Chains A and B, each alone.
Chain A
Amino acid sequence: MRAATWAGVDEVSVETVPDPAILNDRDVILKVSRTTTCGSDLHLLGGYVPAMRAGDVLGHEFMGEVVEVGPGVRDRRVGDRVVVNSFIACGNCWYCRQELYSLCDNGNPNPGITEGLWGQSPGGCFGYSHAMGGFAGSHAEYVRVPYADVGSFVVPEEVGDDRALFASDAVSTGWMGADLAGTKPGDTVAVWGAGGVGQMAARAAMLLGAEQVVVIDRLTERLEQVRRHVGAEVVDYSTTDVMAELRERTGGRGPDVCIEAVGMEAHSTGVQGVYDQVKQQLRLQTDRPSAVREAIMACRKGGSVFVLGVFAGPVDKFPLGAAMNKGLTLRGAQVHGQRYMPRILGHMARGELTTEHLATHVMPLEDAPRGYRMFKDKEDGCVRAVFLPHG
């Protein structure tokens, strides 16, 4: 089959690879209909997650049709149109029973790498390096889906592919951030990052009852999407003092909930941005945490900060004093999507959650190198490149 692979730093190659096979009883094989780039892929492309082997198949946000079912699969049938969560979870361990699916104890066959880095291992993820299990990704004609009864969800007939696709990761990640940060009716929520995840965190906060939602970015096309399709307020950090703006919009309190949806390659203005860039390029720190710092400083006393962006290692100049003295709740996670996807598909079916606008550039899988280039450089207003493996 054809697949888009990581070929080296900033190199994507479409090539012929072996077809996937059922390896465990609870696997299905999916014929991929749509698969999209995600901002976290850029950390792989840029070499910031140094556990990719040239030839590894990329992609973790996808949907398709079940074409083969393992003997231990109960609920999926050949022909089902499903959307699949990006994290691989067994559904049986204590973490899964707590609905903390991305922390599954039985989802990562390579736990030694992440245990060494972080003390414990989270679950596995499609197409996200050997540290996260070494599973082949979804930018391919077919993909193996382990624990398919737990991680795949039948898409309601009334939800089209262009909408359902983003339930896989962007919407479920955003929803998780808004929910686990404790968003309540009447809250003010600020979201750093107007990519797919940030936009969906904002929309989820609104559906959870937030009274005021503000999204912060510097890219005008994305901020315009937030206004038109999400219905939230926006702040352009390249022209506005974000801290002052948020204080002014919240009667001096600061947002109740601050959601960071940027990750380890955050851009920022001024000395801080230069400092983080230099330290990261010299490998003196692995991650650029400027949006996290700002979220902590902006958050109201006793508020909540949720880190949705992907980080890998220690960070520098972390405002722990502010977090402690302001009594903040600080939380983060990879996506526990299985917890939210049925509800999200319901909102999508009722037209309360739309995502079609995120797919700014839809193209054949053969064009994946171009798609990633556009996505990385934000060329032509690219928010997400969506690949069609079967045309």
Chain B
Amino acid sequence: MDIDHLIGRATALAGDAGTALLKQLQHVRVPGAGQASATDPPEVAARRWRAVTVLREPADVDAAGLPAPLAALGDRIEVRTTPAPGDRGTELAARYRGTPGEDEIGDLRAALREAKALLEVGEVLRVDPQPHGTRAATPQGAALEGAAKAAPRAGVL
């Protein structure tokens, strides 16, 4: 195995590690910055409603006419809309009918965020491709790229 192959393999593994690290970030409890309450068991967390608040009237966020990113998840999810208090618009919530895995929850996070953007702005903000200096791939750079690639599907939503 030559050195280039080894570096390439290390880089690929680092990219995966970056993705995995970000997925776990919301579960990390830094000493001094932790939470006082208990954390949900995974099966409870997986079944929770995940919600975004959209600054549109409930009639505009009609569950029958779901934005494409949520519609693409089909009958695997259930969706509810509720008027938000204080003229904040509409709470748009969704959850899987079954018990989803982490990847499926990531799909739902991204779909909810994109649905909100489509309803509020009319399009989803893109960031790639951006002007960027070219560099040889490194494990550290790949880890960050992996984390950035996973970021739209990660987080606490």
Give the B-binding residues of A (Cβ under 8 A): 1, 3, 5, 7, 13, 15, 17-21, 23-26, 51-57, 72, 88, 90, 92-94, 97, 105-107, 109-113, 115-117, 119-121, 124, 130, 133-136, 140, 142, 144, 146-147, 313-314, 316
CB within 8 Å for A55 and B134 given contacts A92-B121, A94-B55, A106-B117: yes
Q: Which residues of B contact A144 (CB under 8 A)?
A: 130
Asked if B126 and A23 sit within 8 Å, CB to CB, the answer is yes
Q: Which residues of A contact B150 (CB under 8 A)?
A: 112
Asked if A92 and B153 sit within 8 Å, CB to CB, the answer is no
Asked if B157 and A115 sit within 8 Å, CB to CB, the answer is yes
Q: Which residues of B contact A17 (CB under 8 A)?
A: 131-134
Asked if A25 and B133 sit within 8 Å, CB to CB, the answer is no
Asked if B154 and A106 sit within 8 Å, CB to CB, the answer is no
Asked if A109 and B127 sit within 8 Å, CB to CB, the answer is yes
Q: Which residues of B contact A115 (CB under 8 A)?
A: 26, 154-157
14 examples of A-B residue contacts, CB within 8 angstroms: A23-B126, A26-B123, A56-B132, A57-B130, A57-B132, A93-B121, A106-B120, A109-B151, A110-B127, A112-B152, A113-B25, A113-B148, A136-B131, A140-B131
CB within 8 Å for A111 and B152 given contacts A93-B120, A130-B147, A133-B127: yes
Asked if A3 and B123 sit within 8 Å, CB to CB, the answer is no
B41 within 8 A of A: no
A23 CA to B109 CA, complexed, in Å: 23
Asked if A55 and B153 sit within 8 Å, CB to CB, the answer is no
Asked if A3 and B154 sit within 8 Å, CB to CB, the answer is no
Q: Which residues of B contact A136 (CB under 8 A)?
A: 130-132
Ordered nearest first, which 4 A-B pairs have the shortest CB separation? A112-B154, A116-B25, A55-B133, A115-B155
A307 CA to B24 CA, complexed, in Å: 29
**Nearest neighbor of A51 in chain B, beta-carbon distance:** B144
A102 CA to B156 CA, complexed, in Å: 20
A20 CA to B126 CA, complexed, in Å: 12
A90 CA to B132 CA, complexed, in Å: 24
A113 CA to B53 CA, complexed, in Å: 20
A120 CA to B113 CA, complexed, in Å: 13
**Nearest neighbor of A140 in chain B, beta-carbon distance:** B131
A24 CA to B129 CA, complexed, in Å: 12
**Nearest neighbor of B156 in chain A, beta-carbon distance:** A115
Asked if A109 and B154 sit within 8 Å, CB to CB, the answer is no
**Nearest neighbor of A19 in chain B, beta-carbon distance:** B131
Asked if A109 and B125 sit within 8 Å, CB to CB, the answer is yes
Q: Which residues of A contact B133 (CB under 8 A)?
A: 3, 5, 7, 13, 15, 17, 54-57
Q: Which residues of A contact B147 (CB under 8 A)?
A: 51, 113, 130
B48 within 8 A of A: no
**Nearest neighbor of A21 in chain B, beta-carbon distance:** B129
B116 within 8 A of A: yes
A146 CA to B147 CA, complexed, in Å: 23
Q: Which residues of B contact A18 (CB under 8 A)?
A: 129, 131-132
B57 within 8 A of A: no
Asked if A53 and B145 sit within 8 Å, CB to CB, the answer is yes
User: With contacts A7-B133, A55-B132, A105-B120 known, what are 20 further pairs, Cβ within 8 A?
Assistant: A3-B131, A18-B129, A23-B129, A26-B121, A52-B144, A53-B141, A72-B123, A90-B117, A90-B121, A92-B55, A92-B121, A105-B52, A106-B121, A111-B113, A112-B109, A112-B152, A112-B154, A113-B22, A120-B156, A316-B32
CB distance from A172 to the nearest CB of B (A): 22
A18 CA to B128 CA, complexed, in Å: 12
A347 CA to B6 CA, complexed, in Å: 60
Q: Which residues of A contact B130 (CB under 8 A)?
A: 20, 57, 134-136, 144
A206 CA to B49 CA, complexed, in Å: 49
Q: Which residues of A contact B22 (CB under 8 A)?
A: 112-113, 116
